[in-house]
Structure 1
């Protein structure tokens, strides 16, 4: 008889210990009985019916975060960008979070990505870089009602980084390089034009300007042919003997103009601020 009583006492004690469940602060738990929802356990000591009651999910009610990998999106001016975002969220209704949506975290990711692409698609590229705060606020407002039905509160969505796709970066750098080259060529052409204009003005005011100009052109002609012959690539140049003899003759008879031309060139160079030696 005493053995039966002892066994009964042990059974009661085991059932009591087995039915006691402690839920830590900041957590809640879902209890099902025979496959149906029964109740939600709050933090502290709780009792369930052994063998009949089952804790199917225990989840924190504190704020959590989901770091979304960089995702591609297109701006309103059709430029591809990569956006990196972080979702801050917490469960406010454990029942809805468990029963209203399958795979809560994946659902939150997909929802935020859809809203993010929508927000980026309404902005031009330049505006996206200066409107991170507006994008974050717009995302939070857009998905708030949907997540409320899931028993989840989105506290905020932070845009970590907005980056251009590598091919877009390469295209922009190429365009910048081309623009720099165009500007350099334009400045060089302007400098040459200004220089030649000053030379023209000096020659116009000089009585022997025409002779000096002939000397200048003849010298450049000979220099060009000299450089052509000095090239590492072999070349054969056929020249008009008359043109060659006339050029050499002009050089020989114009020695006395050399100093004068140098003076005029220096005068023009000083006027334009460009250093040039003939």
Structure 2
């Protein structure tokens, strides 16, 4: 009889406890923190969990999967005082829910602020040209510093990628003008070198001919006419007066160029 009564009371007590508990289902890939009367009690794992109403409170439920944080373009200044904008993307994951909630206020905002500070610091130690060629190095430094700083927050930064680095519009325009000037300068040098080499080969070939001087004179006269024709077609046309004696002197010097090839360029410049 006593055994039956004891079993009856156990059933009543179990039913009472069950009626006071509340079930909470946590999705796969997520966890939740529970406080009892304002103090941390436990971390709920994926699946069905029970908490005591009025005593237990779920204060935070968050995914433990890897998350992506986009960093909007931010102003930065290089070591050679060039203003630019840089943005990045950060991949991070919560490893310890308790520390991520209690060790730092708003862990995602804290990561974003840390990324901005570190990114500006790294760019500030480089020149503008280095920021383009050292993108991989910047990513590695950011990852190392962020991973070290967020360890106490129960967070793991798995990857950092600087997406784009853009100088200010005025800087871009200046860079394009400088690049165009370098291209024009290089083209002019190559053209001058090619002309000098071309004239020297003609001179050497004509010296072996019986009437080489007459042929060379005709060739230079034709080049002179062509040059003046192109000059006349230009919007910035100018009238040039050339002393015919200059051509004769140039021809004489050109025919002697085999002994002194360095004069070819000087003669060509005088004719032009």
What band does the TM-score fall into relative to the shorter chain? 0.5 to 0.7
Does residue 88 (structure 1) correspond to residue 96 (structure 2)? The answer is no
**C-alpha separation between the residues in 1 aligned to 2:25 and 2:193?**
85
Does residue 138 (structure 1) correspond to residue 141 (structure 2)? The answer is yes
Q: 1:186 to 1:47 in 2, by over 3 A?
A: closer
SS class of match (1:145): helix
SS class of match (1:113): helix
Which stretch shifts more, 61-70 or 78-87?
A: 78-87
1:37 equivalent in structure 2:
39
Does residue 55 (structure 1) correspond to residue 58 (structure 2)? The answer is yes
Shift of 1:171: 0.8
Q: 1:19 to 1:82 in 2, by over 3 A?
A: same
**C-alpha separation between the residues in 2 aligned to 1:92 and 1:187?**
62
How many equivalent residue pairs? Answer: 224
1:176 to 150, 175, 179: 179
Shift of 1:175: 2.2
**C-alpha separation between the residues in 2 aligned to 1:131 and 1:68?**
19
Assess if the C-alpha contact under 8 Å between 2:20 and 2:52 holds in 1: no
**C-alpha separation between the residues in 2 aligned to 1:37 and 1:146?**
26
Question: What are the equivalent positions in structure 2 for 1:128-207 lying under 5 Å apart?
Answer: 128-180=131-183
Q: 1:13 to 1:125 in 2, by over 3 A?
A: same
Assess if the C-alpha contact under 8 Å between 2:33 and 2:44 holds in 1: no
Shift of 1:128: 2.1
Render the CA deviation track for 1:67-111: whole Å, top value 9, x for unaligned.
111222222222233222111111111112112222221111110
SS class of match (2:32): strand
**C-alpha separation between the residues in 1 aligned to 2:165 and 2:135?**
9
Assess if the C-alpha contact under 8 Å between 1:30 and 1:37 holds in 2: no
**C-alpha separation between the residues in 2 aligned to 1:192 and 1:28?**
77
Output the aligned Cα RMSD: 4.9
2:116 to 113, 118, 124: 113
SS class of match (1:77): coil
Shift of 1:114: 0.6
Assess if the C-alpha contact under 8 Å between 2:36 and 2:55 holds in 1: yes
Shift of 1:17: 7.9
Assess if the C-alpha contact under 8 Å between 1:28 and 1:40 holds in 2: no
Shift of 1:193: 11
5+ residue gaps in structure 1?
Answer: 1-8, 195-260, 262-271
Assess if the C-alpha contact under 8 Å between 1:29 and 1:41 holds in 2: yes
Assess if the C-alpha contact under 8 Å between 2:32 and 2:60 holds in 1: yes
Assess if the C-alpha contact under 8 Å between 1:23 and 1:41 holds in 2: no
**C-alpha separation between the residues in 2 aligned to 1:19 and 1:163?**
54
**C-alpha separation between the residues in 2 aligned to 1:147 and 1:86?**
16
5+ residue gaps in structure 2?
Answer: 1-11, 198-250, 252-263
Shift of 1:158: 1.3
SS class of match (1:101): coil
